[in-house]
Structure 1
Amino acid sequence: MVALPPPDLFELYYNGQFNNRTSDVRASAGVTMSRGVSAEGTRADPSAADMLLNNRHGDYSRRNPMSALYGKIGPNTPMRYSVDAGYPYLLLPGDTSSALTTPDAAVLGVTDLDIRIEVALDSYTTAQEAVSRFLNSGNNCSWSLQVGNGLQLSWYPDGSFASQKTAGIGVQLPAIPRQRIAFRVVLDVNTGAGGHLVSFYWAPSITATMWNPLGTATAGTGTTTVFDGAAGLQLGTNTGLVGTGLKGRIYAFQLWDGATGVRKVNVDFSTAKAGDTSFTDTGGLVWTKAGAAALANRHVRMAGEVPAWTPQRDASGADRTVPITPAGITRRLDAGTKPLESALLRYLRAAGPIECWPLIDGAQATSGAPLVGTAPAVVLPGSTYVWADGELADWIEPVIHLTGGGRIIAPLPAHASAATGWSVDWPFSQLDSLVTCSVTEGSATGRTWTVSLDPSTNKIQLFTFTAAGATTLQGEISPANVFNDVPHVVRLTTASSGGSVGWSLYLDGVLAVAGADTPAAVPLQNVDVLAGLSGSFKSMALGYITYWGSSAPSAADFYRALTGFQGETAGARFLRLCTEQGVPAALMGTASATTPLGVQKREKFLDALASLARADGGYVLEQRDDRALAFRPRQTLYNQPPAITLDFSTGVISEPFRPLDDEKLSENDVAVTREGGTFASAVQLTGPLSVQDPPAGIGRYDVAHTLSLAADAQALQQAAWRLHVGTVDGLRYPQITLDLGNPRVWPLIRAVYLADVGDKIRLTGLPDDYGPDDVDLIIRGYKETVTEKTWRITFTCTPGAPYDVLQLGAPAYSRLATAGSQLASAITATATSLSVTTTGTTLWTTAAGDRPFDIVVGGERMTVTNLTGATSPQTFTVTRSVNGVVKSHVAGTALQIARPVVYAL
């Protein structure tokens, strides 16, 4: 039996570090943790835990001055809870001497390199050496792989350092800090066309059957070779090729000979134990640790904060305890009642201008409060205006509305960053009469820069006025086409060089006109907006006048913020929002592959994150091992290898095990509305889950979604995808419970502990009444309990079948079904020849290279070994009863691809 409770570690952060307080955790009360999405919810809850701490020593009585932790703990003290379990991984500190090594052996020699390594690094942007076959002396250099800021392979044709060849990619690696990911590098030494080729890939794990390309393969002229010398292998050490060794974890390593497709080295640590100094891998190689490298099996199960410390005692006062309920950071981030802010206001707070006047003050205001400093923007007497009545756009806070002639002026603070150049942004809308926007330099020049916006001529002109009264037209934008109800922004930028100043005038983030003037520019002393020069001024919405130094963000970025970051992808928005909020965050996968979004509305921070996750179909989560956020997009759910495979017949799944054959998740009539745009719908008209009345279908289950989308065309795409997800025909397995103290489960414990929200569980060996085929599930959340007598985890799951999508080059995911097929005639339980009628317009492929593949007929899985016929019906030669189903089938029985895939959203 597995000893309970498992070795664990409870840590509190004080005195500038995490401190071990495990001895205070009452094992009899246990520790319960939850993470991810509960039940059929759509939004991840804050991670949560319950535990009871012994307080007989009084350390957690934080109000007591005699407590050892007095002044050191309080609300939201950081905590971590970890468990040691499963066979180990290699833990590396990132120094120059720590490694896992094996001496030279015949199996290390390869013709074409195929290196595969599965890691979880503290950083994927710091260059580190991952694995090498390299000796610094004796001309025994073979190859080395570096990870961080992309991937780089170095190899040595004759063994000398001087013969070094390199190939690399500088793309951002699709992983967050400490996320498990596998990388693969293939060197084809002879392409057959007089050259060589280095290709780079990534996958969720080293066991993946399909690897995703990283960057562009590097083609080299001339063939090459890889030196087979006397060097052994080193995992994680530093040969001097980059500045540091690996920092983080190595879970597995494989070396293949790409020329023969033979795996030569396989290190998965399954033959090792935590704490070993050496071990023998499954292929007989002996590995020995060096330096501070360690074989460890510690897994952080929760990183959060303790919101409260409530002392309790029994009636005698002898037993004192403190129950704590640690929570993830989203509990704190969701607190407070701060008014919702627009994307523009959030952006400006984070970007750090010298000064900004949003002019979003209330209806009774008499001046415009500054965003940064203390000097207000003053509306001069005689002006006609209404506060909080102007609209730059409906996603931006109401601004001042100039309804007649008027003038707004504000002093600009002196700032060193503006000594050699500056920028000023004037956002506006609803402008229908002449307005001038001016800035005046300090007394060294007294020069005034004036931008004139004139709807009568459809021009924007830039003038300079000297203290002596000279006027110069510097440049103009014509036609301007900005006199409408759409938000616009004019930016004036200067940069001094020598005795002159270069200027640039931007309109809506695009450089429109540029030039030069003398003398050199100096910092500004005031900003001035004058409306009504034509004598017939009617309307202008004005706000967010912003003054920058010489290192201003781009005009394009300001305009994107003004327009609510329309078209920004979900991944990019997640990272930007977290940066603006000051919350550590990381993205799984690549931002460019996530859903393009519409305008960012005025929402609370977590609501904005939920909005982008809802549009993309992914998960915003707290990182399990850090007080930070992570976004797992929908694209990372596609075509995953299973993180855990559970064979029901071996008794690894515990009660309660209650599959459901219901329609609770059914959505067969889906409408999607793009916020601010059009709508589209998708309806399942035929089949067992169609909108037809029973028994032809299940009736209508209609649902409507309103999503932030960049373009109207996305509404139909989203509706079709959500219809696909909502019409999965099969049993539901909402909860899967594993008893981690069960010896039959123990071999799986490492996989269980590495699995996280969004990963795939595969169920095999299910009873006949649950169906004959394997079932894939997506983990949405889990609850784990560790006590003296219990160690269990319950995964909350939804069907994984919808995330099998078309992926060219992957046999399991590259076949699309015909529009409809059925048996042309009845077959017996043993017949191996089928006559198949295609009811659609496209026939089944008869190319020999497209076989074998599996089909399903009446619940029986068959393997197609041959297929003939240029017209319907076609003849299939099959192997019967692949899934154990033995039965005859009548004419007209539907036939389809086994595990059909669809086009990804």
Structure 2
Amino acid sequence: MGWADGDSLGVRIRLAFGATIADGADAWTWTDVTEYWHAPDPIEIEWGRQPGAEQAETSTLQITLNNTDGRFTAGNLDSPHWPHIDTWVPISVDIDLGDGGGWRNRFSGYVRRWPVTWPGRSGKLAVARVEAVGLLGRLSRGTPASASPWRRMITSRSLSGLLAYWPCEDRVNATQAASGLPDGRPMAVTGDVRFADLASDIVANSSGLSLGFGSRLLPATAGGNRAASMSGGTLTGLVPAGTSDPLEWSVCWVARPVTSVSTYAMLRWETPGGSFTQWEYRHATPMNESGLWGRAADGTWVQFVSLYDDSPTLREYRVEAWQDSPIWLGLRLWVDGIKVEDDRWVVTLGRVTRVTVNPRATDVTALAVTQVQVWDTATPPHLGVHGMTATVQPIDGYGETVYPHQRWVNETAHDRLARLCAEDGVPLDMPAVDRSMVMRMGPQPDGAPLALYQQCETTDLGLIYESGFGLGYVPRASRYNQEPALTIDSAARRLGGDLEPVADDQRLRNVITVERIGGSSATAIDRESVAVRGEIAGSVPGGISLATDDRLQDHAAWRLHIASGLSVRYPKISMRLHNHASRALAADWVACRPGSRVRVVNAPTAAPASTIDQVIVGARETITGRRDWVAELATEPAARWDVAAADGAQRVAADGSTIAAVSESGLTLTMTSTIANGPWTTDPSDFPLDLRIGGHQGTGGERATVAAISGNGLTQTVTLYVRAVNGISRAWSDGTQVDVWAPAVAAL
């Protein structure tokens, strides 16, 4: 027995008092408070987004808990949950249908308010009307600062062991280099240090190696890393004491070497207490003196690694050291993800205490240094090249290759979203994407988390939504040709309220302009619609992030396809899941998420069609007690996401075709095509196919199944199997337009 058989609904309400959000849901301790649920007041849950919304919205929860003993009163010292009756306590609401599927989550989020009221003012009953929001509500708090790609990556929540970090992204008039870590000390400036001076000579470099290096000053880059150039000046930063045991460390930085100056030290770090008290990375002439040097206790300098380093472009450097035994030191040098040296030396190691850029105060006008890091580990993450070496290797599962300068260019939209979420410690649920359907993005800009996530969704035309205490993503590829996840039979009384179809041009656009961020633009136009209604222009605010201009026209055409149809909208489709006829739908319903397809069959006679085909974008659920459960679906038309399949019959209509008058029951049509588009197919293998008689631009009209078409001229004879497939049955007059019921549409 279960919900479908008439049993009551299983409801579970849990709170994670005292949870540390950063630990993640798996580490929280949950307290079941279901017994305090005040069932007469409904549980109200909203999730997804409103129809037409261009970005994800946070889910919300309103639930009432019995608070007669004050256990849910903030500040009540007698509460068993004191002092954790506070904002942002995780809360979860689950249901059990009794079908063996276990608990299904209906809301996961965080408490925003604990208001206490006394219904009826009697004082005998007190309730806490809890209000909560989902993950997006938490992430949208405050005004987070924009961060460069480098800074986001280096300070990722998934990483540990970072002792000191100076992005050197400071503005032109800065007098210090700010720390990239909370409460971190800045680098002090002496002499002539010119911030934000990484300029046009790198942009013009023929190799294009500036692309994707995250420099805010470079017009064509991924945004964010202002560098400091040195003209006889130095930058010095103190490093907190490490705790690694055995002792180990790594020093990393990004710099543009200068070949016009014969010899200079790019970076120095001090390690008192070791056999070598100072280390320097030098750029020198002759070139065999370039590389890593160490200063012994007696003041002499010893070259540990020799490197021919003559590239005048931004490069990533990394020195890793560890105490391999009481007397042996392990040492590795990496440049742009390529391991240059990996050796052992009879040396004892000291901890890093200080880092200095251009320590000899050499006049090196064009030297640019940025992203200086000290790690308390000899195996920090290889941030460059997505953790791969700079050799030709796949980075995203599609056999594509990447080089250091491309690290934030040509990345697929879904890969970027996954990487961004990982950097922020946000779980992401996302299906695999076929290589042929990926969308490759341009440089990643500076940005706050939600804005960067949204750019991925906007470019790919996918759907971001909340999934448990993380996010979910429906890639564009997964939105095509979906099978219905939920079918509601109106004739079986499974609709919970009146249908409210809306036929208007509220969202209609017949001219769409798409601009690539930092690139060109393209415009698509529906000339027929413009001729009838006048121009209704649309665009993508802020543009889209594409790797190249090559697909701009495709984007404009597809977005016009989405926006130009006069599809009937159903802003709200209601189900009363507690009705005997509807209880069987509950299991399908709880499996739905934003992007799921829903069909209403045997719709009321007054509806535009007997089958209503929509995509769920959001919903409102109301649970009152254990017997009353209503779902109101926010939807958008689904047919726009039906596209031509490579392994299916492709039927393209001869546009502009019309028929002679036909009776309500006639099974033969006389059809005339235009000279411009020519006659329809007569190939027997193309039949049966469904025809739309009447209607306009893919909506309305009668659906009829064609058995054959004969005749080679513009006037042909159409033989039908059956009329009124969709329940629309009527006579049609001379000149009525006809079209394929579902014309083949090429996917973006």
Fold shared, TM-score > 0.5 on shorter chain: yes
Alignment correspondent of 1:13: 16
Alignment correspondent of 2:72: 60
TM-score w.r.t. length of structure 1: 0.66
What is the alpha-carbon distance in structure 1 between the residues aligned to residue 547 and residue 186 of structure 2?
37
* Structure 2 residue corresponding to 1:718, chosen from 555, 564, 583: 555
Q: Which runs of 5+ in 2 are unaligned?
A: 19-27, 200-214, 388-401, 695-700
Deviation at 1:473, TM superposition (A): 8.7
Contact 2:164 2:179 in 1 (8 A): no
Contact 1:426 1:546 in 2 (8 A): no
What is the alpha-carbon distance in structure 2 between the residues aligned to residue 447 and residue 569 of structure 1?
43
1:491 is aligned to 2:314: no
Alignment correspondent of 2:134: 328
What is the alpha-carbon distance in structure 1 between the residues aligned to residue 78 and residue 362 of structure 2?
76
What is the alpha-carbon distance in structure 2 between the residues aligned to residue 373 and residue 520 of structure 1?
37
Deviation at 1:760, TM superposition (A): 0.6
Deviation at 1:660, TM superposition (A): 0.9
AA paired with 1:340? Answer: S
CA distance 1:891–1:431, shift in 2 (3 Å): farther
1:616 is aligned to 2:467: no
Alignment correspondent of 1:219: none
Q: Describe the SS at the equivalent of 1:345.
A: helix
What is the alpha-carbon distance in structure 1 between the residues aligned to residue 706 and residue 320 of structure 2?
71
Q: Describe the SS at the equivalent of 2:706.
A: strand
AA paired with 1:357? Answer: W
CA distance 1:697–1:367, shift in 2 (3 Å): closer
Alignment correspondent of 2:283: 452
Aligned-residue Cα RMSD (Å) equals: 4.0
Alignment correspondent of 2:497: 655
CA distance 1:32–1:492, shift in 2 (3 Å): closer
CA distance 1:54–1:803, shift in 2 (3 Å): same
Contact 1:453 1:461 in 2 (8 A): yes
Q: Describe the SS at the equivalent of 1:574.
A: helix
* Structure 1 residue corresponding to 2:530, chosen from 684, 688, 691: 691
CA distance 1:710–1:54, shift in 2 (3 Å): same
Alignment correspondent of 1:804: 642
Give a deviation string over 1:701-749, Cα, whole Å, max 9, x none. Answer: 4334412222222322221111111122332111111222333323323
1:81 is aligned to 2:64: no
1:576 is aligned to 2:425: no
Give a deviation string over 1:327-367, Cα, whole Å, max 9, x none. Answer: 21222221133422222111101244454222245745445
1:851 is aligned to 2:668: no
AA paired with 1:349? Answer: T
Deviation at 1:784, TM superposition (A): 1.2
Contact 1:659 1:733 in 2 (8 A): yes
Task: Write the mapping of 1:324-723 to structure 2, written as runs, cut at 5 A.
Answer: 324-350=130-156, 351-352=159-160, 353-361=162-170, 363=173, 365-366=175-176, 368-369=178-179, 371=181, 376-380=186-190, 383-387=191-195, 392-394=215-217, 396-397=223-224, 399=226, 401-402=228-229, 404-410=231-237, 416=244, 422=250, 424-428=252-256, 436-439=265-268, 443-445=274-276, 448-452=279-283, 462-465=290-293, 467=295, 468=300, 474-478=306-310, 480-482=311-313, 488-493=314-319, 506-507=335-336, 511=338, 514=340, 519=345, 525=352, 527-530=355-358, 537-548=364-375, 549-554=377-382, 555-557=384-386, 565-590=408-433, 593-623=437-467, 626-686=468-528, 690-692=529-531, 696-697=532-533, 699-705=535-541, 706-723=543-560
Moved more, 397-406 or 632-641: 397-406
What is the alpha-carbon distance in structure 1 between the residues aligned to residue 246 and residue 192 of structure 2?
33
Q: Describe the SS at the equivalent of 2:599.
A: strand
Alignment correspondent of 1:305: 110
What is the alpha-carbon distance in structure 2 between the residues aligned to residue 335 and residue 500 of structure 1?
47
What is the alpha-carbon distance in structure 2 between the residues aligned to residue 540 and residue 650 of structure 1?
76
Q: Describe the SS at the equivalent of 1:611.
A: helix
CA distance 1:565–1:4, shift in 2 (3 Å): same
Contact 1:449 1:462 in 2 (8 A): no
Alignment correspondent of 2:568: 731
AA paired with 1:600? Answer: Q
What is the alpha-carbon distance in structure 2 between the residues aligned to residue 899 and residue 729 of structure 1?
15
What is the alpha-carbon distance in structure 2 between the residues aligned to residue 777 and residue 577 of structure 1?
31
What is the alpha-carbon distance in structure 1 between the residues aligned to residue 270 and residue 278 of structure 2?
5
What is the alpha-carbon distance in structure 1 between the residues aligned to residue 258 and residue 510 of structure 2?
44
CA distance 1:732–1:41, shift in 2 (3 Å): same
- How much identity, in percent, do the aligned residues show? 21
Task: Write the mapping of 1:147-226 to structure 2, written as runs, cut at 5 A.
Answer: none
Deviation at 1:315, TM superposition (A): 4.0
Give a deviation string over 1:253-272, Cα, whole Å, max 9, x none. Answer: xxxxxxxxxxxxxxxxxxxx
Contact 2:233 2:362 in 1 (8 A): no
AA paired with 1:444? Answer: S
Alignment correspondent of 2:652: 817
Structure with greater strand percent: 1
AA paired with 2:290? Answer: L
AA paired with 2:637? Answer: P
Contact 1:575 1:586 in 2 (8 A): no
Give a deviation string over 1:159-203, Cα, whole Å, max 9, x none. Answer: xxxxxxxxxxxxxxxxxxxxxxxxxxxxxxxxxxxxxxxxxxxxx
Give a deviation string over 1:87-125, Cα, whole Å, max 9, x none. Answer: x5444xxxxxxxxxxxxxxxxxxxxxxxxxxxxxxxxxx
Count how many residue pairs are aligned between Structure 1 and Structure 2: 672
Moved more, 523-532 or 859-868: 523-532
Deviation at 1:697, TM superposition (A): 4.2
* Structure 2 residue corresponding to 1:786, chosen from 623, 635, 638: 623
Alignment correspondent of 2:203: none
Contact 1:36 1:44 in 2 (8 A): yes
Alignment correspondent of 1:863: 705
AA paired with 1:12? Answer: L
What is the alpha-carbon distance in structure 1 between the residues aligned to residue 581 and residue 294 of structure 2?
87
What is the alpha-carbon distance in structure 1 between the residues aligned to residue 461 and residue 385 of structure 2?
29
Contact 2:56 2:465 in 1 (8 A): yes
CA distance 1:733–1:361, shift in 2 (3 Å): same
* Structure 2 residue corresponding to 1:741, chosen from 552, 560, 578: 578
What is the alpha-carbon distance in structure 2 between the residues aligned to residue 28 and residue 895 of structure 1?
55
What is the alpha-carbon distance in structure 2 between the residues aligned to residue 661 and residue 514 of structure 1?
66
Q: Describe the SS at the equivalent of 1:544.
A: strand
AA paired with 2:14? Answer: E
Q: Which runs of 5+ in 1 are unaligned?
A: 92-295, 483-487
What is the alpha-carbon distance in structure 1 between the residues aligned to residue 497 and residue 491 of structure 2?
14
* Structure 1 residue corresponding to 2:602, chosen from 762, 765, 768: 765
Contact 2:320 2:379 in 1 (8 A): no
AA paired with 2:53? Answer: G
Give a deviation string over 1:281-326, Cα, whole Å, max 9, x none. Answer: xxxxxxxxxxxxxxx5x43221222223233335442222211112
Give a deviation string over 1:785-815, Cα, whole Å, max 9, x none. Answer: 1225853211111111111012223x4xx42
CA distance 1:311–1:453, shift in 2 (3 Å): farther
Moved more, 720-729 or 70-79: 70-79
Give a deviation string over 1:402-447, Cα, whole Å, max 9, x none. Answer: 3632233446666758968856322459998776413468553568
AA paired with 1:58? Answer: G
Give a deviation string over 1:19-57, Cα, whole Å, max 9, x none. Answer: 433332222221111111024322222211212222122
Contact 2:659 2:669 in 1 (8 A): no
AA paired with 2:140? Answer: D
Deviation at 1:776, TM superposition (A): 1.4
What is the alpha-carbon distance in structure 1 between the residues aligned to residue 713 and residue 475 of structure 2?
43
